[in-house]
Structure 1
Amino acid sequence: MALLKFAGFLLLLFLLFIGEAVHASSASFDENYQITWGYDHITPLDGGQEIQLSMDASSGSGFASKKSYGSGFFNMEMKLPGRNSAGVVTTFYLISHGVRHDELDFEFLGNREANRSRCRPMCLQMELAIGSRGSYSSSIRQLIFTLTRSFGNIIKSFYMDDIPIRVFKNNKQIGVPYPTQSMQTEASLWDGDSWATDGGQTKIDWSYALFQVQYLGFNISGCEFQSQDPRHWYSSAYWWNSWSHWSLDEEQDRQLENVRKNFMNYDYCTDRSRYPVLPPDCP
Structure 2
Amino acid sequence: MASSSLLGVLLVVSLVVAALAAGNLNQNFDITWGDGRAKILNNGQLLTLSLDKASGSGFQSKNEYLFGKIDMQIKLVAGNSAGTVTAYYLSSQGPTHDEIDFEFLGNVSGQPYTLHTNVFSQGKGGREQQFRLWFDPTSDFHTYSILWNPQRIVFSVDGTPLREFRNMESMGVAFPKNQPMRIYSSLWNADDWATQGGRIKTDWSKAPFTASYRNFNADACVASNGRSSCNSASSWMNQELDATSQRRMQQMQKNYMIYNYCTDTPRFPQGFPKECTVSQ
2:213 matched residue in structure 1: 215
Q: CA deviation at 1:235?
A: 4.5
Tell me how far apart the structure 2 counterparts of residues 134 and 167 of structure 1 sit (CA, whole Å).
Answer: 15
2:15 matched residue in structure 1: none
Task: State the TM-score, normalizing by the size of structure 2.
Answer: 0.83
2:46 matched residue in structure 1: 50
Alignment deviations for residues 146-198 of structure 1 (CA, whole Å, 9 cap, x no partner): 32111111112222343221011111111122112110001111101111111
Tell me how far apart the structure 2 counterparts of residues 75 and 162 of structure 1 sit (CA, whole Å).
Answer: 10
1:255 matched residue in structure 2: 248
Equivalent residues in 2 for 1:133-282 (5 A)?
133-143=124-134, 145-156=135-146, 157-180=154-177, 181-226=179-224, 228=226, 235-241=231-237, 243=238, 245=239, 247-276=240-269, 277-282=271-276
- Tell me if the contact between 1:33 and 1:218 (Cα under 8 Å) persists in the aligned partners: no
Query: Which structure: greater helix fraction?
Result: 2
1:10 matched residue in structure 2: none
Tell me how far apart the structure 2 counterparts of residues 234 and 168 of structure 1 sit (CA, whole Å).
Answer: 21
Alignment deviations for residues 103-154 of structure 1 (CA, whole Å, 9 cap, x no partner): 111000011126xxxxx221100011111123211100132x3321111111
Code of the residue aligned with 1:209 in structure 2: it is A
Identity fraction in percent: 40
For residue 40 of structure 1, give the secondary structure of its aligned residue in structure 2: coil
Number of corresponding residues: 249
The farther-off stretch of 152-161 and 35-44 is 152-161
For residue 125 of structure 1, give the secondary structure of its aligned residue in structure 2: strand
- Tell me if the contact between 1:146 and 1:152 (Cα under 8 Å) persists in the aligned partners: no
Question: Which consecutive unaligned segments of at least 5 residues does structure 1 have?
Answer: 1-23, 115-119
For residue 137 of structure 2, give the secondary structure of its aligned residue in structure 1: helix
Compute the RMSD of aligned alpha carbons: 1.8
1:19 matched residue in structure 2: none
1:86 matched residue in structure 2: 82
- The yes-or-no answer on 1:34 pairing with 2:34 is no
One of 52, 60, 66 as aligned partner of 2:62? 66
Code of the residue aligned with 1:172 in structure 2: it is E
Q: CA deviation at 1:47?
A: 1.6
The farther-off stretch of 186-195 and 42-51 is 42-51
Question: Which consecutive unaligned segments of at least 5 residues does structure 2 have?
Answer: 1-18, 147-153
Q: CA deviation at 1:72?
A: 1.9
Q: CA deviation at 1:228?
A: 4.8
Change (3 A) 1:44 1:83: same
Code of the residue aligned with 2:185 in structure 1: it is A
Higher relative contact order, chain-length normalized (CA < 8 Å, sep 6+): 1
Tell me how far apart the structure 2 counterparts of residues 275 and 172 of structure 1 sit (CA, whole Å).
Answer: 21
For residue 212 of structure 1, give the secondary structure of its aligned residue in structure 2: strand
Task: State the TM-score, normalizing by the size of structure 1.
Answer: 0.82
1:11 matched residue in structure 2: none
- Higher CA-based Rg: 2
